[in-house]
Every structure is written in structure tokens, then in C-alpha cells.
Structure 1
Amino acid sequence: MSEERKVLVVTGSSQGLGAAFVKSYRARGWRVVGNAREIKPSDDADYITVPGDIGDPIIARKVVQTALDRFGRVDTLINNAGIWRPGPIASISEEMYRRVMATNVDAVFFATQVAVPAMQKQGGGHIIQVLTSLVEHALQDVPAVLASLSKGACASATRGLAMELARDNIRVNAVSLGIIDTPLHDPSSLEGKKSFAPLNRYGTVADVVRAVNYLEDSDFVTGEISYIDGGRTAGH
């Protein structure tokens, strides 16, 4: 087993952004371990898939441990898996609350907790969170308390971990997204959402991948939250 080639672990990798991250890093020559609740086995020896609910701490730990067992290292962890369930607070069931928090917060904590000691041992690494710009700028017409609670926690953790882990040469960054054309959005709704961004368009998966590539290559950047939202954050 060679430990020289870099290794990515990415959650929510069966479609949308996660699948694009897999493709981008494989193009770089990285080995990859990906996870989703339902994900097909890979016929690529350098891409291992681990099915299961990432909100379960056992699965979250298993995903990262698989990279260590199969490839011997973890260079970057992208905590991409997320659940988007807008709605007024009075309408949210306890079951839905716990499901969203498990996927959006618990999975981030437990996957990161396994990755960090491995990164410390190998002399460095990179952790990237995928957030929403609704955390900073809520909308009256889009009640999203679950997103604020879960992704807001991850935004704070991004900055906190960046400071905690800087001495270990582990960088921690995030991309905070506006409206992006992914399976999270009904395609028929995207035209009506263009006005959310001053650039008057919705974003693409390629926009987000470029931002992640920038963060990956920027060795002097940590604690950064990059807003991929067409200027919405800047305009508020």
C-alpha cells in the first residue's frame, strides 16, 4: 500500500456537489473515499464507496477509517452531506429536527474527530465544510431555523478548529453557498430564485468546485468562509 498519493474523504458523494468533488480530486490523481445513504460500488480501485447514513456516528467514523485502512492517510475531509428542510419552527417535528442535526452536525463532528489524529500524525491536512449563506442573512420568506442551527454551528466550528489545529498544520475552511443548481433544488424553481443574488443568476456546481480547488491549493488560508452566493452576502 502506497502512502504517497493524497487521499480525499467526502460525504454525500453520490450526486450533485459530492459527485463533482470526487471527479475533481480524482482528476488530480487523488484517491477518494465517498459516502452516501445509497451509493453504488465503485469499479475504480482508487475510489472506495461506503454506503450508510452519515448521521450515525458509527458510519461517520467508518467512512474515515476506511480511508486509513485502504489508503493509509487522509489529506482532505469534505463534510458535504447535508439535509435541507425549510419550514417554520412550529411545524418541525422532533424526528425531523433530530434527523437534520444528525446529518448536518453529528456527522461533521464524528468524521472530523477520526480524521484529525490521522492528519496530526502525518503532519497536516485540510477540512472543508459546506455551509449556506442563510446562516448570515436570513430571509423572511424562507424560514430555515434548522439550517441556521446546524450550519451555523459548523460555521463557528470552522473558525474554532482553524485556531485549534493551526499548530498541527491542519487547515479548516468552508464554502457558504447561495442558490446552486443541485438536486436539492427543483429545477423548475431556479429561474425564480435568480434575484436572490446581485449577479442575477443561480450558481453551478462548477462554481463551487472552483472555490474548493482554490481552498485546496491555498496553503496560507485557514479559518476562511468563502461565499459562493453571487454577491448576496456582500450586499447585506
Structure 2
Amino acid sequence: MRFEGKVVAITGGGSGIGKEAAARFLAEGAKVAINGRNLKKLEEAAREIDPSGKNVVASAGDIAEPATGAALVDAAVSRFGKLDVLVNNAGVFNPKPFLDLTEADYDWYLATILKGKFFTAQAAAKAMTKNSGGAIVQTGSMWAIQAIGATPSAAYSAANAGVHAMVRNLAIELAPRKIRINAVAPAVVETPVYNTFLSDVQVKEVLPTFDAFHPLGRNGQPRDVAEAILFLASESASWITGVVLPVDGGVTAGRQ
């Protein structure tokens, strides 16, 4: 029970990696506050991972608004008394050629991915300072490390590169406050994000074609990334900060 007595806040906690991480934190003794834009979906996820309703609180809102991150932190502290871990997981993805990207597309990526993580981390760090420290884990992206022609993602990649840079800078700035910050950088992980721009039929057809893209021969699953997140948030990683950890089936190592 690595997280017995710990309180964890997770953005994008209603599905995919965030939901999986929430379930695993709960299984290891934590109490969890989850965020997402869709309140109904968020409440359904909360009931699924904690039927008792005692150990999960839902805080809905668009993480691109700084007040949403602050509200999530407040929900965790108000309900459970403190905040030990933030998993800054919320994100968006919709591959589009550079020449077709609009200002609205650009703003969408930067606001949700970079601005959202920035101000949620700030709210969490303030709460953790009152609690003598904590850990922040960001979800970055392999696309911020390596460009993939099949999925043109200039704005998405730029936003996540900012997330990676934030991790390194905040690792130095927050270390005196006993707050560690790291990131995971996943490759293709089979989550509902692909259903936001592909039909169910297209998802079933397209995603398997990326299995061979990964040297380990398969796409990632939410559990793969969640396990890495829990490690970085745990005391097992107490001497690790400022790291961007690829969780990518070997993609950034090279090609077969």
C-alpha cells in the first residue's frame, strides 16, 4: 500500500490513463480527487472506481481555465484535508497538417495542455508547501521528443515540449519546498482520445496498424502509463525529479 494515507488529485481522471491511475492509487490506499470537463462522465467514473463514494471526489471543469485547477486542489483539500500528489494528465490530440492548423487549433492545444498543466501545478504546489512537500507527475508526450510523419502534430508537440521544459524548471524551483516533479512521455496508447476525431470503426481499423510502430510490438494500454505514473509519485522515486520518462514501447530508442 504505497499510498496509504495520501491524497491525490488527477486531471483528465474520467477516462483513459487518468481513470486507470485513479483506480490504482485507490487500490494502494490513497484518496483521490478527479477532474474532467464532463460532470456526468466524471461522476460515473468515480462510482465505478469507488462504489462506496467515500474515497473519491469529482471536480468538473475545463482545465484550460486556471480556476478549474484551483478548484480541483480545493476539492481535494476540503474533502480529505491535504494534497500529496498531483497527476497533471488532461490533454487533447487531433493530428492535422501544419499548413491546415488554425489559430483556434493552436490556442486549443496551448491552453489545454500547457496552460492547464502550468496553473494546476501552481495551485497544487501552494497546497503541498503547506503540507511539507509532495510529488507532481505530468503527462507529456513522445511527440514532443520525436516527430512522426503519420501523425502531423506541430502544435500538439510544441505544447508538450513546453510541458517537458516546465518539468525541468520546476524541479529546480520547487526542490527547496520538497516537491518533486517528473513527466511520462507516452507513445500510442489506446485511450478514448482517438474517438474524439475518429469513428469507432476507424479506431478499430487504424489503431492496430500502429502496433508494429513500437519496437515491443504493441500499442500501449492505460495500465502501462499508470504504472509509471505511480512509480514516479511514490517514495520509490524519492531521489528522482526533473525527469521526462518515455513510456513508449521503445519508440524513442530507435527502429527495428
TM-score range, shorter chain: over 0.9
Shift of residue 5 of structure 1? 2.4
Instruction: Give 1:33's aligned residue.
Output: 33
1:219 has 2:244 as partner: no
1:195 has 2:195 as partner: no
Residues in 1 aligned to 2:71 and 2:241: alpha-carbon distance in whole angstroms: 26
Residues in 1 aligned to 2:163 and 2:240: alpha-carbon distance in whole angstroms: 18
Q: Is the 8 A contact 2:7 2:30 kept in 1?
A: yes
Identity percentage over the alignment? Answer: 34
1:64 has 2:83 as partner: no
Shift of residue 221 of structure 1? 1.1
Q: Is the 8 A contact 1:86 1:146 kept in 2?
A: no
CA RMSD, Structure 1 to Structure 2 (Å): 1.5
1:104 has 2:121 as partner: no
Q: Is the 8 A contact 1:85 1:146 kept in 2?
A: no
Gapped runs of 5+ residues in structure 2?
A: 48-52, 195-202
Instruction: Give 2:85's aligned residue.
Output: 76
Q: Is the 8 A contact 1:8 1:32 kept in 2?
A: yes
Shift of residue 93 of structure 1? 2.0
* 1:233 alignment partner, SS class: helix
Query: Which of 82, 87, 103 is 1:94 aligned to?
Result: 103
Residues in 2 aligned to 1:120 and 1:58: alpha-carbon distance in whole angstroms: 19
Q: What is the TM-score of this pair, normalised by structure 1?
A: 0.93
Q: Which shifted more, 111-120 or 185-194? A: 185-194
Shift of residue 90 of structure 1? 2.1
Shift of residue 167 of structure 1? 1.6
Instruction: Give 1:116's aligned residue.
Output: 125
Residues in 2 aligned to 1:51 and 1:188: alpha-carbon distance in whole angstroms: 32
Residues in 2 aligned to 1:147 and 1:165: alpha-carbon distance in whole angstroms: 26
Gapped runs of 5+ residues in structure 1?
A: none
Shift of residue 208 of structure 1? 1.0
Q: Is the 8 A contact 2:32 2:57 kept in 1?
A: yes
Instruction: Give 1:20's aligned residue.
Output: 20
Q: Is the 8 A contact 2:132 2:177 kept in 1?
A: yes
Residues in 1 aligned to 2:231 and 2:66: alpha-carbon distance in whole angstroms: 30
Counterpart mapping for 1:128-207 below 5 A: 128-185=137-194, 186-207=203-224
Q: Is the 8 A contact 2:21 2:223 kept in 1?
A: no
Residues in 2 aligned to 1:131 and 1:110: alpha-carbon distance in whole angstroms: 15
Q: What is the TM-score of this pair, normalised by structure 2?
A: 0.86
Shift of residue 137 of structure 1? 0.9
